[in-house]
Structure 1
C-alpha cells in the first residue's frame, strides 16, 4: 500500500483531506520538513534527521517538538507501507493560523508520508542565475518555504537539467536547490562551509565523517575560499563536482551547463565509502554536543 499517510498520530487514506486550509504550512509555508531514504527496510539516519528537525523547529521558533511521536509515526507508516517503500517525508507545520504572517498559537501538525518514488538516477546541473541569501532568517533551515527552490528547479528543467547550483550573495559556491556540493581539485575533496548559507545536509555530514575516517582527503573550506568560479574549472576538466542528498547519496555531476563531465577518482572513492558505510550502519548516531 503506497503511498502511506500518518497524520497527527493516525494512519489515514492519503487521498482523504486531512489538513485545514487555514494551516500555516499551506498558507505561508510556516513549517519544517525532512526527507529520508529507506535503506534495508529502515529509515536511514533517522536519529540525525530528527535532531535536524528539532533544530529547524527551534530556529523557526515553532517551539519544542515531540520527537518520539514523530519516530513512532515513521515506524508505523513504514510498517504499513511494506517492502516497496523507498522514501519518507516528515512535515511539521505551525498549525492553523490567521490569513497573515502571525501564527495562531495552535498545536503542531505532523505528517509522515511514505512513498515508493525512485531516487534520482543522475545529476545534470546548471548554474542558477539567482543567489542564496546567507543572511536570511531561515538560512540553513529545512523550511517548507521552498518557493525559491521550486523556481530554480523549473529553470533547471527548462535547460534540460534536474538541479541548479547557486552562489551566495558574496559570489561564493553555496549549494544546490536540494543538495550540497562537493568539489574535487588539487588532490582533495572540498565543500562549502555552513557560513556560506548552505544546509547542514545529513549526507554531507556523513560523507565528511566517513570519508575522513577512510583516509580520503576531504574537508570543509574556510569562508570565502571556494568561489563560484570553481565551476569553470569543472567545465574545463581541471576539477570534478558531485552533489549529496538523502535521495542521491554521493552523486557525480555528469553534466553542467550542457557540458558532459567525467567523474573524479577521489569522488568515486568517496561514493563507494559512503554506500558501504551506510549499508553497515543504518542509524549512524552522532555524539551529543556538550
Structure 2
C-alpha cells in the first residue's frame, strides 16, 4: 500500500487527519527531516541519515529524540508498503507550541511516510536570483523551514527547469535548492565546501569517499575557490555540471539557463562508481569522527 504513514509509533491511515493545528512544525516550520531512497526494499544509508537527523535535531535544540524508535518506524513502514516503495521521509517536529516563535514543552513528534513513484529522471537548472545565507542559524540543518526553497523551486518551474543553483552571500558557488553540486573541470571533480553554506549531503559524502577509493580525482574545493563564474565555464563547455541528492544519485545537468550541456566523462564515471557501490552496501557506516 502506497503511501504508508507511521506516526509516533503507530501505523495510521495516510488519508486521515494527523497534524495538530498547534504543532510547531506546521505553524512555524520548527522541525527537521530526512528523505531516503529505497533500494532493494531497504532505506538506503539509513544509519548516515539518522546521524544527520540527530545532528539537525541537536542544532535545533530538540531534546529526547529516540533514534531507535525512528529506525523502527522506518522498518515497519517499509514492511507495510511492500515492493512499490521508492522513498522514505522522516519528519521530527518540536510538537505542540504556542502561536509564536517560542517553542512549547514537547514531546517531539515523529512521522515516517513511505511513498512510491519514480525519482527525477533528469535535471534542467537555472541560476537563482537569490542566495544562500551561509551564516544563518540553521545553516547545515535539514530543517522543515523550506519556504525559500519552495519559492526557488517555483522560480525554476517558471523558467522551464526543475532546479536552481545558487551562490552564498559572498558570491561563492553553494548548492541547488534540494541538491549538492559537483563540477568537472581541469581533469578533476570538485564540490563546494561546507563552509559555503551547503548541506552536508549524504550522497555528496559517499561520492567523495567512494570516488576517491575508486581512483576518481574528486575533492572538496577550498573555501572561495569556486565562484558563480564557474557556471559560465559550464555554459562555454569548459566544465561540466552535475547535481546530487538521495533521490537523484549523481545526475548530469542537461540544461543550464536554457543552454544544453554535454556530460562530463569523469562525472559519468563517478556516477557509475556510486551506483555500483550503493547496490553492494545498502547501509554504509558513517565516517569516523576525528
Instruction: Answer whether TM exceeds 0.5 for this pair.
Output: yes
Pairwise CA distance, 1:289: 1.6
2:161 aligned partner: 161
Q: How many residues align?
A: 290
1:280 match? 280
Instruction: Verify the 8 A CA contact 1:58 1:64 in the aligned structure 2.
Output: no
2:244 matched to 1:244? yes
Match of 1:30 in 2: 30
The match for 1:120 is 120
Structure 1 residue ranges (4+ consecutive) displaced by more than 6 angstroms after TM superposition: none
Q: Structure 1 unaligned segments of length 5 or more: list them.
A: none
* Partner of residue 191, structure 1: 191
| TM superposition score normalised by structure 2 | 0.99
**C-alpha offsets along residues 189-239 of structure 1, whole Å, 9 cap, x if unaligned?**
000000000000000000000000000000001110000110000000000
Measure the CA separation in 1 of the matches of 2:54 and 2:48.
10
Structure 1 residue 77 displacement after superposition: 0.2
CA RMSD of the aligned region, Å? 0.7
**Preserved contact between residue 64 and residue 108 of structure 2 (Cα < 8 Å):** no
Q: Counterpart in 1 of 2:268?
A: 268
Judge which range, 217-226 or 62-71, deviates more: 62-71
Offset from partner CA, 1:114-157 (integer Å, 9 cap, x none): 00021000000000000000000001110000000000000000
Q: Does 1:82 align with 2:96?
A: no
Deviation of residue 287 (structure 1)? Answer: 4.0
Consecutive unaligned residues of structure 2, counting only runs of 5 or more, are: none
Question: TM-score, structure 1 length as denominator?
Answer: 0.99
Deviations 1:236-275 (Å, cap 9, x if unpaired)?
Answer: 0000000000000000000000000010000000000000
- Report how far residue 64 of structure 1 moved: 3.7
Distance 1:113 1:242 in 2: 28
Q: Secondary structure at the match of 2:269?
A: helix
Q: Is the 8 A contact 1:166 1:174 kept in 2?
A: yes
Equivalent residues in 2 for 1:204-219 (5 A)?
204-219=204-219
Q: What is the aligned partner in structure 2 of residue 54 from structure 1?
A: 54
1-side partners of 2:261 and 2:289: how far apart?
Answer: 40
